[in-house]
Copies of this chain bind each other. A is one copy, B any other.
């Protein structure tokens, strides 16, 4: 994986530099923001920020405010830096979706450890939205598909259909079942539209297209193994 991007938001330049140095040394890419509005700009500019470290105490827009804003659009992990350890606005913070607290002063080791723990956790959460079988990876959240690592462009219906296949890999699916699950149940069109979509899917999947198998007189099935070659 590429180096992960971390956004550090603090009004004190000294503190930003400190944090940046440690994280850079640990292999992360760090970008800085000196206040809340700057932070928000950067966050929406760069699409791939993996984590945000946010000072609570900042002039004008404070940490809570920034957190609240970001949480409206994103679930990116947020670590809060608090001045005193007894500054127990933490309850407020957890309600806002803060993932972790670090109280100043902190040791670099703690900082890095927390960051890594959080990113690991986040990665584990993401795994739930990822389906994999036979070299085909579907990221439901990102709504994209790769085959042997290469991205494949699928239309909406194609994506839904392939997802349904992967979610039921190894199970024979009748056309009726497919219609009920991939199409809205109030769809009363021709079931043969499935065939057309299967055809397009197969062609876009190249060799891996064979994984979608026809079960004559019945429907289709996504193979998990090369069962009979």
Contacts and interface: CB of A to CB of B under 8 A. Distances in A.
A153 interface: yes
Interface of A: 85, 102-103, 105-107, 109-110, 113, 117, 120-121, 124-125, 128, 141-144, 151, 153, 155-157, 170-172, 215-218, 221, 227-228
Given A103-B124, A157-B217, 6 more contacts: A105-B117, A110-B124, A117-B128, A143-B215, A155-B216, A156-B218
Contact of A125 (B110, B124, B218): B110
Contacts of A113: 125, 128
Q: What are the nearest 4 A-B pairs in CB distance?
A: A143-B172, A156-B217, A151-B228, A141-B171
A98 to B, nearest CB: 13
B228 A153 contact: yes
Contacts of A125: 109-110, 113
B120 A85 contact: yes
Contacts of A143: 172, 215, 218, 221
A146 to B, nearest CB: 9
A121 B113 CA distance: 12
B107 A121 contact: yes
A121 B128 contact: no
A216 B153 CA distance: 11
A170 B151 contact: no
Given A103-B120, A121-B106, A228-B153, A221 B128 contact: no
A124 B221 CA distance: 16
A142 B124 contact: no
A142 B156 contact: no
A156 B85 CA distance: 35
B120 A142 contact: no
A102 B125 CA distance: 10
Nearest to A103: B120
A151 B221 CA distance: 15
